[in-house]
Structure 1
Amino acid sequence: MQRSTMEHIEGVKQFLRQMGSVQPASVEEAREQQAAALASLPRLKETIVQPVHAAGMRAEWVSMPNVSADEPGVVLYMHGGAFMTGSCETHRDLAARIAQASGKRVLIFEYRLAPEHLFPAANEDCLAAYRWLLQEGITSEHIVLGGESVGGYLAIATLLSLRDANEPLPAAAFLLSPHTDLLHFDNATYELNAAVDPLGSRESSRLCAAIYTGMERSNDPQLCPVEADLQGLPPLLVHVGSDEVLLGECQQLAHNIQTAGGAAELVVWDHMWCAFQLMAGVMPEGVESIRQIGEFIQHHLHIEGERSL
C-alpha cells in the first residue's frame, strides 16, 4: 500500500493542532467548524444519496455505482463528534467510501446531539435506528454496525444493549478509534501519547463525557463498555492509530473480548490519529483502512446462505 511520508504526516498533524487551538464560542460554532473542515477535503464523485427518515430521525442511504440496488446486506454507521457535532453531511463521504469498499449500502443517521439532549439520548437513538432496519425487513445477519470515536462507543454500547435485551445481534461491527471508557480516563496512553496525538487528550475526553452526561463526573456503567461483560458479541474489527491517546482503551477492549471468548481483531496504524479514515481523501492510510473494513464487511455478511466474496 502507499504510505504517507513523515513530512506529510507532520504537516497534517500541525494543521489539526492549529484547528484544535481555535476554541469555538458556542455549540453552533463548533458544529459549523467541523462541517467546514470536513467539507474542505476531497470527496468521492458519483456518490448516491437517498434521504429517509429512520425511527423519526433524518437519515441517508449512501451508496456508489458499484453497489447493487438489490443488495440485502447493509451497514448501519454511527458518526462521531464528541456527542455534540456530526451530521449526514459531515459523514457522507466516509459512508460513500465504506459503501464503495464493501459493495453495501450505508445508512447514516442524525441521533440527538448534546448538550441539548443528554445521556442516554444518543444510545437510545442508535438502538432505534437498528430496530428500524429490522422493521424495514432487513434481517440482523444482513447488518454490520460501524462507528468512529464516540460513534464507536455507541456501536459497542448498542451491541451490549441488544445482547442484554435478548434481541437479534448484527453480523459484525467495526470500530474506528472508539472511546471505550468515558468514566475513568486512566489508561496509560493518555500520558504516553499526549505529545504526539494532534486531536485527543485526557482533558478533551473528559469534556466529551461531561457534555454528554451534563455532569463533571458520572458513574453509569453504560459509559464504560470496556469493563462490561463482553461475552456473546459478534466479531469485531478495531482500527486505531499508534499516536492516539485512545490506543490503550482500544487494546484493552480487544483483549477483554478475546478473553471473554469472542473475536476481536485489532489493527494499529503507525503514526495515525483518531478517525484518520475521515481524511482518506488526503491520507493513503485512510484509503487502505477503509479497504480492509470493506473486506471485513463482505466476509461477515451472509447473503442467501453464502458469504459474500
Structure 2
Amino acid sequence: MRIPLFLALAAWAFIVSAAGVAPSTSTARRADAVQLSASTVPYSSFASAASRKVFRRMLEQGRHAPPLDGPIQANRAYYAKINRVRVQVMRKRWAVHIERTTLGGVPVQIVTPAAGIARAQRDRVLVNLHGGAFLWGARYGGLVESIPLAGLGGYKVISVDYRQGPEHVFPAASEDVEAVYRVLLKRYKAADIGLYGCSAGGILTAEATARILVHKLPAPGAIGTYCSSLTDLGGDSAYLAPMLTGGGPVTHPLKLLDLPYFRGVQADDPLAFPANDPKLVARFPPTLLITGTRDFTMSSMVYSANLLEREGVDAELHVWNGMWHAFFSDPGMPESQQAYAVMVRFFDRHLGH
C-alpha cells in the first residue's frame, strides 16, 4: 500500500487516501449522491509559484512512502527523518534554543528564541501538540510546529511528546496534556497560556480543551486547531481532497475511530469529539482554525468553525488556496509564512485578555 508523501507527513492523511479506495456501493445508490467523471484538475492558479514546485516534488516522492501496515517503528523512523530535515531548515531561518525535559512527568521540548523571549511574551507561553496520526511525530514533528512560533513570535513554546497508539489509547494523550497544563498553571495565568496543534494535534487540542473544562480548570486564553478540529472526518473534502493530492477515488472515507489510538471510543463521546456537546463547545476560548482547499479535513474544519460561531465562540477560520494537509510544515512557501504570521497575531491578540 503506497501513499502520497505529503499526506503522510502531516498525520493520518495517508490513511484516508489509502483506505478511500475500498469498494462501496452504498454511496452510489443514494438519491443525493453525484457521480463524478474522470477529469484532470490543474494546480490552483491562486497558489504561489514556490508551492507549485513543492507540490510537484511531493507527487513524485509519494511513491517512496512506506506501507501503512508495516512495523510502527519503521514508520516512525521514516517520518522522523523527514521532519529532522525540516527542523534543520527551520533552525537556519530562526535561531532557537531547544531543551528536552519533563513537566508533570510528561516528556516535553521547550523551544525559545536564542536571543531570549520577547519582552511582550515573558508572561505568556504556548503549548504545541504535534501531528502524526496519534502514531508518530514526537520530538522532530513537534519541533517543526514549534520553531516558527518561537522564532517569529518570540514565544516560549512547549511541545508535548504525549502518549500515542498503538501502545496507548484515548484518553492517554489528553491526560498528558492536562498534566502539563496543571504544572503551567502554577507559573502562568490561564489567560496567558495558548494551546495549539496540527492534524492529530489539532484534534488533541480540542480534546484537551474539553477535558480541561470538564475537570473545572480555567480555560486557556486561546487555542489553535489546525487541519483538524472538533469533529470527525466527513463532508465534501473527505472525498475530493485525496484525489486532488494524487490519491485514488474515495468511496468510503476513513473515520478517526479507525485509528489505533481511538480503539474502543464511542462516537458520541464529547471528550473525544467535542462537537457532540454544544454546551461544552460554547465554553471554548477564542479558536483559530487553519486549513487548505486540498486538505481532506477542510469540510470538518468549516463545520467546526460554524459550530463555534453558532455557540458564540470567537472563531477565526483561514483557508489557503491549493494547500494540502499541514502545508505549513514546509517553511519555504509564502503560504507557510502567512500562516505563521496569522498564528502569532492571533495569540498576540488574545492571550492576556
Please state how far the C-alpha of 1:151 moved relative to its aligned partner.
0.6
Equivalent position SS for 2:323: coil
Deviations 1:244-286 (A, max 9, x none): 1100100000000100011101000111111112111x32211
Q: Which residue of 1 aligns with 2:283?
A: 232
| Distance in 2 separating the partners of 1:198 and 1:55 | 42
Higher mean C-alpha deviation, range 251-260 or range 214-223:
214-223
Equivalent position SS for 1:271: strand
CA contact (8 A) 2:128 2:145 kept: no
TM-score by length of 1: 0.87
Matched, 1:124 2:172: no
Of 135, 147, 161, the residue aligned with 1:84 is 135
Higher mean C-alpha deviation, range 34-43 or range 148-157:
34-43
Please state how far the C-alpha of 1:108 moved relative to its aligned partner.
0.6
Please state how far the C-alpha of 1:165 moved relative to its aligned partner.
2.6
**Percent identity (aligned):** 23
Please state how far the C-alpha of 1:180 moved relative to its aligned partner.
3.3
| Distance in 1 separating the partners of 2:256 and 2:213 | 29
Question: Equivalent residues in 2 for 1:210-289 (5 A)?
Answer: 210-215=259-264, 218-229=267-278, 230-280=281-331, 282-289=332-339
Q: Which residue of 2 aligns with 1:11?
A: 56
Q: Which residue of 2 aligns with 1:65?
A: 114
Please state how far the C-alpha of 1:23 moved relative to its aligned partner.
3.8
Q: Which residue of 1 aligns with 2:90?
A: 43
**Kindly tell me: are residues 286 and 142 of structure 1, through their superposed partners in 2, closer, same or farther at Cα, counting changes over 3 Å?**
same
Q: Which runs of 5+ in 2 are unaligned?
A: 1-46
Deviations 1:215-250 (A, max 9, x none): 598553432223322102111111101111100100
Q: Which residue of 2 aligns with 1:297?
A: 347
| Distance in 2 separating the partners of 1:54 and 1:89 | 18
| Distance in 2 separating the partners of 1:20 and 1:223 | 29
CA contact (8 A) 2:129 2:197 kept: yes
Higher mean C-alpha deviation, range 34-43 or range 15-24:
15-24
Q: Which runs of 5+ in 1 are unaligned?
A: none
Larger Rg: 2
Please state how far the C-alpha of 1:213 moved relative to its aligned partner.
2.2
Matched, 1:163 2:213: yes
| Distance in 2 separating the partners of 1:216 and 1:127 | 19
| Distance in 2 separating the partners of 1:216 and 1:170 | 26
| Distance in 1 separating the partners of 2:300 and 2:64 | 25
**Kindly tell me: are residues 153 and 49 of structure 1, through their superposed partners in 2, closer, same or farther at Cα, counting changes over 3 Å?**
same
Please state how far the C-alpha of 1:205 moved relative to its aligned partner.
4.4
Q: Look up the equivalent residue of 1:88 and give its one-letter code.
A: R
Runs of 4+ in 1 over 6 A off after TM superposition: 199-204
Higher mean C-alpha deviation, range 84-93 or range 234-243:
84-93
| Distance in 1 separating the partners of 2:77 and 2:257 | 17
